[in-house]
A and B are shown apart, each in its own frame.
Chain A
């Protein structure tokens, strides 16, 4: 299970990073979302992965580390709020600049500066 988990986290963060480095706001927002998913998975695994563990301590027996779960919960909430804000900001930027480039430039402008 560990290798599958690690692979999932790695692929998610690689895709997230790639999309975050794109030039348009929509892929950037999607990339940030993927990145936050990867981070949540990563945080969750940091307490050690346990199968069949109790969610809370009840006597003996193995139990899952509760702290990463609390951290992930907080991170998810903050991540949702941030994503919502980033989406609204991207739409506002699209409306005000007239295009969705992260630098607010049109394609033609870049051609001109290159010349």
Chain B
């Protein structure tokens, strides 16, 4: 059991190496190996989740070096939830990719596993510098995956994506350096303990470091002034990759949640929740900008990319509220939005394949040979992502709006509800053009492979499933939020063996 915590990192790493080695092997072997590895990852993360659900915080000291000196992986409710979410999303993506997308370039499955390793590592690590390292791992894999299959638009958006993220990495290192210089530690729990007795003259330095970190995480999460890379990159990426990228913005949101609730939580004195006003107002501004983007998008993939941005704004507004109720509801919404937007990216690609020349542009095209089934899935996904009852988006939004306090409701309610309305307008316009306003003539296009149907149905079926399981899931997110609001538990779990921070 103690070694289970490291498996979500080691298993994808080992599989990634095996798959990269057999890059000229048969596609069948690679597909089977990749799907089995992803399924095994889901099983492992389910076991970890059940373990974490008991409320105990466990850590894994790599190489047996005890915290705060060694690097640790920390398993609490939040990290277990995020790892499970990643693996569920990855199952849908990898099965979809087996329908033919993986052979459009080289090394898809190997890179995919390495990307999973980076994402899982970022969720599990308890060390600030290690967080940087795993960010780099997931970014490097994502650069290569974004370019999978080639093409002008991909290369063009990849140049922006890579350059911006390299600059972001430089900022991350500066922030980590500043925080290390001021506190003398990199372990997040230890840093939290030390901030309580920070000399007054260093608080300016720590504030600078903390806000620099917010810029870095904001770039990953795509908050307002830093989101311009996202729509084009996500719209250009191959479908399974774009769907997996749906979790990448959530890595940024997770990092914001983790760092500011743990390090700059209640113990940090005057430095506590210093990010809150920034996140709150920028999140609302992100929502407004993304809603305009949703209305303006003339391409289905671009539309879904802007819907990802809407979800980022919604989630960060929850972070900005900074109450346990808001955190609990945002985590429920996070699970919903990651799986549904991932599914919509896959669906958009299927529609584009079948429409042939018209692609995913929202213009009149030929009738679709499998239009009925595609339209049904599109209706399900659109209703879920726009937040129409009885699907999970409505529950998530209702929880979030309920969690807002009186002064915040004045801002959040109108913006969130209008953005939902605009999403409905844009999605119904897109759906009616794609499926109803088609040209005369025979339905054309090839039938889509079975794997693609399985992948997309898996992800979109999560929405009704989340409604059916709304009770247990929201209980879990509530417990997660309580755990996050009480960082002392994590600090003492990590540092108790050593008599606290020395």
Give A residues with C-beta under 8 Å from B.
20, 25, 28, 32, 35-36, 38-39, 42-43, 46-48, 67-68, 71, 74-75, 78, 81-82, 85-86, 89-90, 92-93, 96-97, 102-104
Across the interface, A82 reaches (CB within 8 A) one of B133, B158, B166, namely B166
Does B36 reach chain A (CB closer than 8 Å)? no
Nearest 7 A/B pairs, CB to CB: A46-B181, A46-B177, A104-B156, A43-B177, A39-B173, A39-B170, A35-B170
| A75 lies within 8 A of B173 (CB) | yes
In the assembled complex, the Cα of A59 lies from the Cα of B160 at a distance in Å of 51
In the assembled complex, the Cα of A20 lies from the Cα of B169 at a distance in Å of 14
Which residues of A have CB within 8 Å of B177?
39, 42-43, 46, 68, 71
| B140 lies within 8 A of A82 (CB) | yes
Given contacts A46-B181, A71-B129, contact A93 B155 (CB under 8 A): yes
In the assembled complex, the Cα of A68 lies from the Cα of B129 at a distance in Å of 11
| B152 lies within 8 A of A96 (CB) | yes
Given contacts A42-B174, A82-B166, contact A90 B159 (CB under 8 A): yes
* Min C-beta distance of A89 to chain B, whole Å: 6
With both beta carbons as reference points, the residue of chain A lying nearest to B143 in the complex is identified as A85
Q: How large is the interface on B (under 10, 10 to 19, 20 to 34, 35 or more residues)?
A: 20 to 34
Across the interface, A68 reaches (CB within 8 A) one of B155, B166, B180, namely B180
Which residues of B have CB within 8 Å of A48?
181
In the assembled complex, the Cα of A36 lies from the Cα of B136 at a distance in Å of 14
Which residues of B have CB within 8 Å of A68?
177, 180
| A104 lies within 8 A of B159 (CB) | yes
Given contacts A35-B167, A42-B174, A78-B136, contact A67 B180 (CB under 8 A): yes
Across the interface, B163 reaches (CB within 8 A) one of A32, A38, A46, A75, namely A32
Which residues of B have CB within 8 Å of A20?
163, 167
Does B495 reach chain A (CB closer than 8 Å)? no
* Min C-beta distance of B78 to chain A, whole Å: 26
* Min C-beta distance of B14 to chain A, whole Å: 21
Which residues of B have CB within 8 Å of A32?
163, 166-167, 170
* Min C-beta distance of B456 to chain A, whole Å: 30
| B162 lies within 8 A of A85 (CB) | yes
| A89 lies within 8 A of B158 (CB) | yes
Does B186 reach chain A (CB closer than 8 Å)? yes
| B155 lies within 8 A of A96 (CB) | yes
* Min C-beta distance of A81 to chain B, whole Å: 7
Which residues of A have CB within 8 Å of B150?
96
B128-165 vs A, Cβ < 8 Å mask (1 yes, 0 no): 01000100100010010001001010011011101100
In the assembled complex, the Cα of A82 lies from the Cα of B201 at a distance in Å of 36
| B140 lies within 8 A of A81 (CB) | yes
| B178 lies within 8 A of A89 (CB) | no
Which residues of B have CB within 8 Å of A96?
150, 152, 155
* Min C-beta distance of B177 to chain A, whole Å: 4
With both beta carbons as reference points, the residue of chain B lying nearest to A98 in the complex is identified as B152
In the assembled complex, the Cα of A81 lies from the Cα of B139 at a distance in Å of 12
Which residues of B have CB within 8 Å of A86?
162-163, 166
Which residues of B have CB within 8 Å of A28?
163
Across the interface, B159 reaches (CB within 8 A) one of A35, A39, A42, A89, namely A89
